[in-house]
Amino acid sequence: MLLPSERGEVVRLCKKMQDDGLTTGTSGNISVRDAESGLVAISPSGVPYEDLEERDVVIVSRAGDVVEGRRVPSSELEMHRCVYEGRPAAGCVVHTHSPYATMLACLEHDLPPIYPNLACASAGTGEGGVRCMPFMHSHTAEFGRAVADALGDDFALLLGHHGVLTCGPDAGYAYMVAVTVEFCARLYVGGGALGEPRALGADELADCVSRFRRARSKALG
């Protein structure tokens, strides 16, 4: 069986994503890329996460062709493939439908950096927070390219009226960003009941920006 470690990571994170309330039903998807071969292990389409096993995970090539697997790969495979194509250092892509972040996405509302740890989602100073791209029909190559373009060098993106995409040098970092985005979205939506939360500036975010930059470098070895 190809990529047993990567398959296992996909299964583990899919189950954790469900347990952590970052998705419902069979929505969302996760992939892990093998840096040496370029092959990608991706969650299958339509399999309940509680039933997911390593043999259900599908292995695809850089071009998106199925190399090994008894299941159909996620219907949003092109989104994953396009992100990897544009981000050679990315080792994992996580797509959730976490409720508070998706709430902002349904409003086509960016998530400002109101909490220092949201710097994990930014490749720059962190001042931009997490941007939201406009709605597009998913499951297409056009959508995948638009997501990769909107993501740029950052590690998180809100997908208009859809959900959240995060990535990272490894599965641990990508999943941590997904959890942090949802936590910060919950703070932002809840805080809005009392007033408009203030976005932090570059100086206030600098320590966390440096810390997460070091974490990414360490993950890359």
Domain of residue 19 covers 4-220
In degrees rounded to 5, what are phi and psi of residue 36?
Answer: -70, -50
Residue 19 burial (CB count, 10 A): 10
Task: Please say whether the beta carbons of 116 and 208 come within 8 A.
Answer: yes
Q: Which residues contact 68 (CB under 8 A, 6 or more apart)?
A: 1, 2, 58, 59
Count of the separate structural domains present in the chain: 1
Query: What's this model's pTM, rounded to 2 decimal places?
Result: 0.97
Q: What is the domain-level CATH number for residue 48?
A: 3.40.225.10
Paired tokens of 121: 């989602």
**Residues belonging to the active site:** 76
Distances (CA, A) of 27 to 39, 87, 101, 205: 23, 24, 15, 33
**Percentage of the chain modeled with pLDDT above 70:** 100
Quick: pLDDT tens for 64-102: 999 999 999 999 999 999 999 999 999 999 999 999 999
Instruction: Split the chain (221 residues) into runs of 10 and give each run's mean pLDDT.
Output: 97 98 95 97 96 97 96 97 97 98 98 98 97 95 97 98 98 98 98 95 98 95 80
Neighbouring residues of 88: CB distance < 8 A, sequence distance ≥ 6: none
